[in-house]
A and B are shown apart, each in its own frame.
Chain A
Amino acid sequence: MQDLYRRYGKGLTWAFIGLTFFWLAVLVILPDFTLFESSFRPYLPISEVGGPKDTYSINNYLRIFGGEVAMNIFGLDVMISPRVKVFLYTIWYSGMVTFVTFLIAYPLSYYLAKVVSPKSLPTLFLLLFVPLWVSEVLRSFAWWIILAFKGPLNGVLMALGVIEKEIRWIDGYSPVIVGLVYTYVLFMLFPLYNAMQSLDSNQIEAADDLGAPWWRIHWRVILPHAKPGIASGAVMVFMLSAGSLLVPAVLGSTTSGWFTQTIQGIMLEEQDWNSGAAFAFMLLIVCTLVVSLAMWIFRVKLSDIAK
């Protein structure tokens, strides 16, 4: 700090501190605190805000319970509230999306880091970047077209004789998962590639020379080395999926609810900002837990994830 003062003088040092303060306090900490605080207050007409009815309670959080629907959890039929069901499904399917993107991206990042000739690498990356530059809403829309009832996928499958009648693809959670995997697989691929690329190829060859079969080389040499990349990719994909609103809204149907859609409904349709804050806070808690869990499982620091 004194160092900064000596180098850039009083004015600039205070400018740095001021800008950082503006960012962290005014844009990040205070709004999140407001979110936390207002999530415990009731939703009242403006004239009654600050009045006798404006007391703290956890009623907004309790709104997640209410009503009952059947849900099957690992073979057990239980009755839970529809919002809890959506909440659990969101976490479960985000985890599934994370796992599927890992399965797709792992061989690919290995290929990009160790197999392909370095000469064609820039071209390949450029091609991979193209979908990333096309916005998320359009990418979901593309799958909406493909999966439509009278759309190209059904058309091709019927022409090939694989199916006899059109299949209703946009139903339940599968189209949402397809869309999320398509949209976020690159966020798994790039961190994985970064991690693998720093592995010395000699280590792989040494293991190969010493007679290790290919799966053991992956299990004992490459996978451990790629751990920070896996953590980073997994956290990114999970957060993006659980927090996604576009993909479930475009590709979902009445049989697939996503927790962000619940929040959107409360905020924009019911206009109950206090309950919205409570639900948003729940989403934030889940995401914080997931990041902590990933950091603990993979034994990495926040700075490794944020690379």
Chain B
Amino acid sequence: MHRNRNFLFHLYMGAFLLYMLVPLLVMGGAAFNASKLPTIYPWKGWTDEWFIAMWADNRIWIAFRNTLLVALAVAAIAVPVGTAGAILVNSIGGRVRGMLYGLMVAPILVPGVVIGISTLLFWNQFGVGSGLHLSVLGQVSYIASFVMLLVLARLQSFDQGLEEAALDLGASHGQVMRRILLPHLYPAIGAGAAISFFQSIENFNVTLFTRGGADTLTVYVFSKVRSGITPTINALAFLLIMVTLLLAIVYEVRRRRIATIEAAREAEARRAEES
């Protein structure tokens, strides 16, 4: 009976993966269809004209550049801010800690529309008009929370005795920070930077209300999808999916190789023990 149930589970998992991936296939496939509308059915023959059209579309490149700039700026601000917040909240206790923590986590749960509009209104009071700089500030306000959570989790495994020892041995405050605390936090900071970068690329709601007239990739794709739809968007989607897949495959191959090496090492150790 167990075997039967497991079979059903495997089936369900397979169905779910199909459900997740088939829409992406459909979208990517439509990039090669010679139909004027983005679809894979009816199939009107193979073409690469949508890729050429995409390549020639200047606005895509500008939007692409804007997206990268915004994402880099967001990561550059959110990482130090979130790290500082985590160190601060970790060093205090009691009610203040709870309150501060709540304040730091809350932005994750605030709808992007609200963040976008409040950022726009706030800076507008001081005569700062809308534009991508406001998008950056709006995005940082909630993306820093992710960094904070990652760094805070990492801080739990930090041995403060190391800092004590360094201070006793005459290290300066800057050295304690640079040589002891930061190296321990690097994995979390790296993950935080990556998450900031990708969250920023994904962002739509905050950007839409703060961007002024500038395009980011998400906003541009959205305006394309809303108005005159051509399969150039599918060409773009196809390329994005391919990049994602490629990264995923590289990651998986590396993981497997490391797993094999480790298994070999373990076997070696066991043999050495036996002999």
Instruction: Give A residues with C-beta under 8 Å from B.
Output: 1, 3-4, 6-9, 11-12, 15-20, 22-24, 27-32, 34-35, 38, 104, 107-108, 111-112, 115-116, 122-124, 126-131, 133-146, 148, 150-152, 155-156, 182, 235, 239, 242-243, 245-246, 249-250, 260, 263-264, 267-268, 273, 276-277, 280-281, 283-284, 287, 291, 302-303, 305-307
Contact = CB atoms under 8 A, between A and B. Distances in A.
B244 A243 contact: no
Pairs of residues from A and B, 4 with the lowest C-beta to C-beta distance, nearest first: A243-B111, A9-B173, A19-B84, A31-B122
Interface residues of B, number: 92
A132 B240 CA distance: 12
A122 B100 CA distance: 35
Contacts of B42: 150, 155
A142 B255 contact: no
B233 interface: yes
Contacts of B173: 7-9, 11-12
B69 interface: no
Contact of B108 (A30, A145, A306): A306
Contacts of A126: 248, 251-252
B88 A277 contact: no
B88 A16 contact: yes
A142 B114 contact: no
Contacts of B114: 32, 35, 243, 280-281, 283-284
Contact of B244 (A133, A146, A151, A239): A133
B198 A138 contact: no
A34 B122 CA distance: 6
B76 interface: no
A27 B121 contact: no
Interface stretch (B33-41, B185-193, B267-275): B33-41
B226 A145 contact: no
A20 B99 CA distance: 14
A273 B120 contact: yes
B218 interface: yes
Residue from the set B16, B104, B119 with the largest chain A CB neighbour count within 10 Å: B16
A277 B114 CA distance: 8
B9 A284 contact: no
Contact of A8 (B120, B176, B222, B255): B176
26 contacts: A6-B167, A9-B172, A9-B173, A16-B84, A19-B81, A27-B141, A35-B122, A104-B16, A107-B9, A128-B20, A130-B248, A135-B221, A136-B202, A139-B24, A145-B38, A145-B39, A150-B41, A151-B39, A182-B23, A260-B205, A263-B117, A264-B113, A284-B111, A291-B109, A303-B101, A306-B105
B208 interface: yes
A77 B20 CA distance: 39
A3 B228 CA distance: 60
B119 to A, nearest CB: 5
B110 interface: yes
Contacts of B140: 23, 27
B212 to A, nearest CB: 11
B84 A245 contact: no
Nearest to B92: A1
A61 B86 CA distance: 37
Contacts of A155: 41-42
B104 A107 contact: no
Given A16-B87, A20-B88, A145-B30, A108 B120 contact: no
Contacts of A23: 81-82, 84-85, 104, 140-141, 144
Contacts of A263: 113, 117
B49 interface: no
A19 B148 CA distance: 12
B20 A131 contact: yes
